């Protein structure tokens, strides 16, 4: 994964040298996430995403780009003391995420994106109402997802984006070790709302 990140960083620097074809992007946003297969439901884990990217046009309405993002995923169950439920759970999974996405313009101000996303787990933490959980199975260091987005252009530089990630491979096995067809373990599911700023580089 580190090799992928280094290659992407090299490409980001190299491609920016040809300002007539490439644009840089800066993105920040808020995240809601859950982990399918952990017996909880709902995008209750709040998080953050932020990073940079580069994009180039393929045709008039099509382009391709990649980003290097810091993306917080996980799962959360808040305690409900007023309902007599003191149980609490929090899973924090922090990734370096590299989505590679094809973009298609479907209107003057609306576009959609889709493509694969590769991630490396930087840090994880799991806890319940009694404290940190350290005896459970570890998470995979890698996450492979399909990513998609729909965005609205406020101007030539500013875009509002709604995005989603869904793991295609499990990030951890079920605690009982059972599998069933496509259900091989626990999977990250993420939705995000953010804003993106596009920098049109000066001509050389």
The helix/strand/coil state of 2 is helix
Domains of the chain (ranges; CATH) run 32-200 (2.40.160.20)
pLDDT (0 to 100) of residue 16? 47
Contact 19, 201 (CB under 8 A): yes
pLDDT digits (tens, 9 = 90+) for 125-137: 999 888 888 878 8
Contact 32, 43 (CB under 8 A): yes
Over residues 6-28, mean pLDDT: 64
pLDDT digits (tens, 9 = 90+) for 138-173: 899 999 999 999 999 999 899 999 999 999 999 998
- What is the distance between the alpha carbons of residues 89 and 84, in angstroms, rounded to a whole number? 16
Highest mean pLDDT of the ranges 14-23, 73-82, 151-160, 182-191? 151-160
- 201 has pLDDT over 70: no
Q: Sign of the CA dihedral 15, 19, 23, 25?
A: positive
Q: The tokens of 104 are what?
A: 């298609």
Over residues 96-110, mean pLDDT: 94
Q: Percentage of the chain with pLDDT > 70? A: 84
- 187 has pLDDT over 70: yes
- 198 has pLDDT over 80: yes
């Amino acid at each position: 994964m580190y090799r992928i990140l280094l290659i992407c960083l090299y490409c980001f620097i190299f491609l920016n040298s040809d300002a007539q074809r490439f644009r840089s992007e800066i993105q920040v946003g808020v995240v809601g996430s859950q982990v399918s297969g952990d017996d909880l439901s709902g995008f209750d884990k709040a998080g953050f995403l932020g990073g940079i990217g580069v994009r180039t046009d393929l045709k008039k309405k099509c382009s391709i780009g990649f980003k290097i993002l810091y993306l917080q995923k996980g799962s959360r169950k808040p305690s409900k003391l007023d309902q007599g439920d003191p149980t609490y759970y929090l899973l924090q999974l922090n990734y370096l995420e590299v989505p590679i996405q094809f973009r298609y313009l479907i209107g003057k101000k609306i576009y959609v994106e889709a493509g694969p996303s590769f991630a490396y787990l930087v840090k994880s933490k799991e806890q319940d109402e009694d404290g940190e959980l350290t005896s459970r199975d570890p998470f995979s260091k890698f996450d492979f997802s399909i990513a998609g987005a729909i965005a609205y252009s406020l101007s030539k530089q500013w875009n509002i984006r709604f995005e989603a990630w869904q793991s295609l491979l499990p990030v951890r096995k079920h605690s009982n070790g059972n599998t069933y067809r496509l259900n091989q373990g626990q999977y990250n599911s993420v939705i995000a709302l953010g804003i993106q700023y596009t920098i049109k580089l000066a001509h050389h």
